[in-house]
Structure 1
Amino acid sequence: MEKLEKGSKKLLNAWAFYDWANSVYTLTIASSIFPIFYATLFNSKDELVSAFGFNMKQTVLIEIITAFTFLVVAFLSPILSGIADYIGNKKGFMKFFCYVGGFGCIGLYWFNLDFIHLSVLFYFMGLIGYWGSLVFYNSYLPDIAFEDQQDAISAKGFSLGYIGSVLLLILNLAMVMKPDWFGFDIGTTEAEKDLASIKAMKISFVTVGVWWILFSQYTFYVLPKGVSAGHKVTKDVVLKGFQELNQVWAQLKQNLRLKRYLYAFFVFSMAVQTIMLMAVYFGEKEIAWGSAGEKTMGLIVSILVIQLVAIVGAVLTSKSSAKFGNIKTLIAINVIWLFLCVMAYFLHTPVQFYATATLVGLVMGGIQSLARSTYSKFLPETEDSTSYFSFYDVAEKIGIVIGMTIFALVDHFSSMRNAVLFLFVFFLIGIILLFRVPKYQK
């Protein structure tokens, strides 16, 4: 393979194409079909699951595994990023996590309660594979693109990921809703038709894994191995990532505006990410759908609505921030999220769920992009922006761990409705902290 120069169109497109490959995981596995499939394994919504020596609610198990996965990613990413940079083999680490995630998705085909520990291992593999590979995927950007190219190629990657994931989800939806079109025996009874749909769901997990591994090959073929010469890994290299995070924390103490903004981001982000990760589980368990087919269709349509509206929300948020400023816009969005928590507590019908999903989509796309760009604007003049963003990413992951753990505890001892309502507190604290962010850095 010829060595491509930084800024090369072919190199940039190959990097962006990984979004096409891996985004199918978030839409099909994390956000739509897997939560629906998981619910079909239980005879009732109140049936407990036995795992790791405990009996717990169905959703609590997923919440705990998700929190644990993000804890592992938060701990490993500074170590592995430092090692990958030092030995000059980012691609090797990116491949490893890609294949772990892809085979984890394929393994979900055998997910069942009789082998629950092996089953949740496959779920863990998919989740850590996705987020682990993103650490190295994102770190490639300053290596392959000049500063004036980075926004455009990032947006292109997002667009490719959205198009690819929606296309596969539509195919998977057709498989689940019309399994006879794809050669499944649907029998003559409702039970037989439901069984055919469940088999189609299992096949959809395999399609995600195959899609992810297959389409990532072009990215791996074109991307360079790394940008630095290979070196031997030492103890200092392993600890380098944590030392850099500690240096950033020390520098934050001298930047009041950035420090206060990070406090606010940490609090409201943990609530936002928790809602996004658990939205479909909430809809499946708490909404009074009709038949199993109507529930499947309704939940997947809701996800598609959220994805479409999120694009509109991102545009509106961008225009609002240009007119009113980033902090004021973030405060307004957090106020909407705050009321969404209250609305979710009273949701019962599909129509109410659709309306709330539309509003979630409107503020979901905006708050993520604006939160990151606000952090970027508040950074001091520095050549070491990578360490600052590494700190930002680790803070976000730890926030998810805390958010998911609290959500799981409230869900376990009370209900998922109360867990969502409890997130109201985090948005309220986030709003208060945003008001304390100085307009200018003194």
Structure 2
Amino acid sequence: MQKNNPRIVNAWCMYDWANSVHALVIVSSIFPVYFTATALSASGTPETDFFGFTIKSSVLFSYTVSLSFLITAALIPLCTAVADYTGSKKTFMKFFCYTGALSCMLLFFFTRDTLTFSILVFGLSLIGWSGSIVFYDSYLPEIATEDNFDRYSARGFSMGYLGSVLLLLFNLSMILFPKLYGITDKGTPARISFFTVGVWWILFAQIPFRYLPSGKKNSSVKQGNWIFNGFKELKKVYHDLHRQPYLAKFLSAFFIYTMGLRTVMYVATIFGATELKLPSQSLIITVLLIQLVGIIGSFSFAWLSGKIGNIYALMIGVAIWIGICTGAYYTTQAMEFYVLACTVGMVMGGIQSLSRATYSKLIPENTEDSASYFSFYDVSEKLAIVLGTFIYGVVEQLTGSMRNSILALLLIFVVGLILLSRIPSRKVYQYQPEKAK
């Protein structure tokens, strides 16, 4: 397939446009605010009954994220094995996409009476979203040359930010001015927002589904018990890391700093609502601001990597995250939270897009196992989210304070920065088999 084809690259980027509304509306803004207001005990405290257990609502949120990504991490090897054997990468991408989108639509029925069901559906939406990203990410080295990884990856994240902002603005208008839409019930605008996420996701996903290649059958996949071949491929990639020292070191650092970064994505709004008691509208507008700043951040880090190399650019981003966690621990005022939010926007998308591009540069060029390598990457990311959100929830549950959880994230970022410092930074990494002997 011809690489750097503008039509195919733009279609690939459109999946970021399609799915990022889940990350913004469901994960970061409207759903966490609605969840916090709904998951209350009879006395109005932030506790809820879940399968007979009374649990703090913010802890339940963290544990739901952890379990969802743990399930995804277990599913990925099986799915990539079947995709490799049958050449059906795009089919699996569709399956997870539609699973996640339909789950978002079911959240329209989220009320206090359907809390348990809605939590399960929320978890299913996370599985659908994260599962589709595995196959989406694996297309990058197939459709682009290495010198364009940073730029195209940043373009995808930026389109995701822009698309999700447009839908959030519409949803925000319903929440702030419900009478303009003939809505009288207070919770209905939020529930309609969840439904629109599913519709938007399915609608715009048709563009990449039309233009992206279906995938090719991996000629190296052997007959036999091939359904478990994905776990064998993960094991093979793990052993290959010993022959690719830069890739191994990067994955170690990536796993650690992703624990902190992605945990912040999932708990930032809950932190603002629970610890700082910020109004719902202020929290949602803050997340909107993060998205707009994130567009600038994605391209800024792509530009920075071209000047000083990917690793140094990532180190700067992680160092900023250490500062963010330090500031969050001492934050007591709304204005301080808004300043931190702008800083988060600058580094969040930039680090994510640059991490994906850096990994694409480090894997063997023209390998038939790109799906296996990205399966390993995504399993690592999902397990990092599992561990990060679990640590955050446990620390809060044991100490009773989210601020102590923030300190745990700070230490995680420090370790990630130390691990990144072990890798030499340069603009282009090339896999050299002769060095693997």
Q: Same fold (TM over 0.5)?
A: yes
Aligned residue for 1:423, secondary structure, equals helix
Q: Give the structure-2-normalised TM-score.
A: 0.87
* Match 1:242 to one of 231, 245, 257: 231
Q: Partner amino acid for 2:258?
A: S
Question: Which has the larger displacement, 161-170 or 133-142?
Answer: 133-142
- 1:190-213 Cα offsets, whole Å, 9 max, x none, are xxxxxx332111111111112222
Q: Partner amino acid for 2:414?
A: L
User: CA 1:216 to 1:375, structure 2 compared with 1: closer, same or farther past 3 Å?
Assistant: closer
Matched residue, 1:292: none
**Equivalence map 1:233-382=2 (5 Å):** 236-289=225-278, 295-379=279-363
* Match 1:36 to one of 33, 36, 48: 33
* Match 2:201 to one of 212, 235, 245: 212
Q: Is the 8 A contact 1:345 1:420 kept in 2?
A: yes
Aligned residue for 1:197, secondary structure, equals coil
Alpha-carbon deviation of 1:84?
1.7
Q: Is the 8 A contact 2:18 2:160 kept in 1?
A: yes
- Select the structure of larger CA radius of gyration: 1
Q: Is the 8 A contact 1:288 1:349 kept in 2?
A: no
- 1:221-268 Cα offsets, whole Å, 9 max, x none, are 4555443499x9975322222222212221222333332332222111
Aligned residue for 1:49, secondary structure, equals strand
Q: Is the 8 A contact 2:36 2:46 kept in 1?
A: no
Q: Give the structure-1-normalised TM-score.
A: 0.86
User: CA 1:274 to 1:218, structure 2 compared with 1: closer, same or farther past 3 Å?
Assistant: same
Question: Which has the larger displacement, 134-143 or 17-26?
Answer: 134-143
- 1:320-361 Cα offsets, whole Å, 9 max, x none, are 444444333333332221122121112122111101111111
Q: Partner amino acid for 1:348?
A: T
Count matched residues.
424
Alpha-carbon deviation of 1:431?
2.2
Task: Tell me the distance in 1 between the aligned counterparts of 2:159 and 2:388.
Answer: 30
Task: Tell me the distance in 2 between the aligned counterparts of 1:319 and 1:409.
Answer: 38
Question: Which has the larger displacement, 129-138 or 155-164?
Answer: 155-164
Q: Is the 8 A contact 2:314 2:354 kept in 1?
A: yes
Task: Tell me the distance in 1 between the aligned counterparts of 2:143 and 2:307.
Answer: 33
Alpha-carbon deviation of 1:13?
4.2
Matched residue, 1:428: 414
Q: Partner amino acid for 2:18?
A: A
Alpha-carbon deviation of 1:148?
7.0
Task: Tell me the distance in 1 between the aligned counterparts of 2:361 and 2:145.
Answer: 18
**Equivalence map 1:24-423=2 (5 Å):** 24-41=21-38, 42=40, 46-142=45-141, 154-185=153-184, 196-228=185-217, 236-289=225-278, 295-379=279-363, 383-384=367-368, 386=370, 387-414=372-399, 415-423=401-409
User: CA 1:7 to 1:236, structure 2 compared with 1: closer, same or farther past 3 Å?
Assistant: farther
Aligned residue for 1:253, secondary structure, equals helix
User: CA 1:260 to 1:202, structure 2 compared with 1: closer, same or farther past 3 Å?
Assistant: same
Task: Tell me the distance in 1 between the aligned counterparts of 2:354 and 2:2.
Answer: 31
- 1:61-90 Cα offsets, whole Å, 9 max, x none, are 111111111111112112212202322333
Matched residue, 2:429: none
Task: Tell me the distance in 1 between the aligned counterparts of 2:147 and 2:424.
Answer: 29
Task: Tell me the distance in 2 between the aligned counterparts of 1:311 and 1:24.
Answer: 14
CA RMSD of aligned residues (A): 3.0
Q: Is the 8 A contact 2:25 2:31 kept in 1?
A: yes
Q: Is the 8 A contact 1:298 1:350 kept in 2?
A: no
Q: Is the 8 A contact 1:318 1:370 kept in 2?
A: yes
Alpha-carbon deviation of 1:132?
1.4
User: CA 1:68 to 1:225, structure 2 compared with 1: closer, same or farther past 3 Å?
Assistant: same
Alpha-carbon deviation of 1:430?
1.6
Q: Is the 8 A contact 2:322 2:410 kept in 1?
A: yes
Question: Which has the larger displacement, 137-146 or 305-314?
Answer: 137-146
Task: Tell me the distance in 1 between the aligned counterparts of 2:91 and 2:336.
Answer: 46
Q: Partner amino acid for 1:127?
A: L
Aligned residue for 2:186, secondary structure, equals helix
Q: Partner amino acid for 1:129?
A: G
